[in-house]
Amino acid sequence: MSVAFFDLDRTILSKNSGALWVRSELQGGHIGPGFALKAMAWMGLYHLGYAEFDRPIRLAVARMRGVAEREVLERTELFYERSVRALVRPGARRAIAEHRARGEQLVLLTSSSNYLSDRFVEQLSLDAALCNRFELDPEGCYTGELVEPICFGPGKVLHAQRFADAQGARL
């Protein structure tokens, strides 16, 4: 079986959901201006090729330690509806339809969270999402750690390879 992988930011979506999330979290009072500025600076440096982004992802996840998963899930649902749901590119819809017509598995491969990724899997009728997931303690709060491997850079390739291997497909 063939697999078609799609990225979310600036591929399926016309904008970067990470930058929009930072703005949303700042406006909601969940992060301060200093953290928002650092996050935007890291994104800018990454897009210019001057920085890796796995460290900032890990730092952001570490800040979530002790926060209840349901709180972030609720904020993500609101963010999805208000800020990103309508940003799906028409060309992305066409490409997804073309791959679907060929009988390929349609997989979202993104550094976004499973919460946001799952919304787009549902919206676009994709088969799976390979994305970042967060460790939870027994009470349903974040430990501040990612479920490894991080789905970014080389980790994205590893996620894709594992999925392809499980499906008997080649990358």
> What pTM value is reported for the model?
0.92
Angstrom distances, CA of residue 101 to CA of 7, 82, 98: 19, 31, 5
Is 118 strand, coil or helix? helix
Please write down the HEC assignment for all residues of 29-91. Answer: CCCCHHHHHHHHHHHHHHHCCCCCCHHHHHHHHHCCCCCEHHHHHHHHHHHHHHHHHHHECHH
Q: What is the pLDDT of residue 51?
A: 64
Number of domains in the chain: 1
The answer to whether 19 touches 40, Cβ cutoff 8 Å, is yes
CATH code for the domain in which residue 147 is found: 3.40.50.1000
pLDDT at 65: 98
Q: Which domain holds residue 96?
A: 3-167
Cα–Cα distance list, 112 to 54, 86, 159, 165 (Å)? 12, 17, 13, 22
Torsion angle (degrees, nearest 10) of CA 144, 150, 152, 153: 130
Which of left, alpha, beta for 140 (phi over 0: left; psi -120 to 50: alpha)?
left
Per-residue confidence in pLDDT tens, the chain, 171 aa: 899 999 999 999 999 999 999 999 999 999 999 988 888 887 777 777 776 777 888 988 999 999 999 999 999 999 999 999 999 999 999 999 999 999 999 999 999 999 999 999 999 999 999 999 999 999 999 999 999 999 998 999 999 999 999 999 987
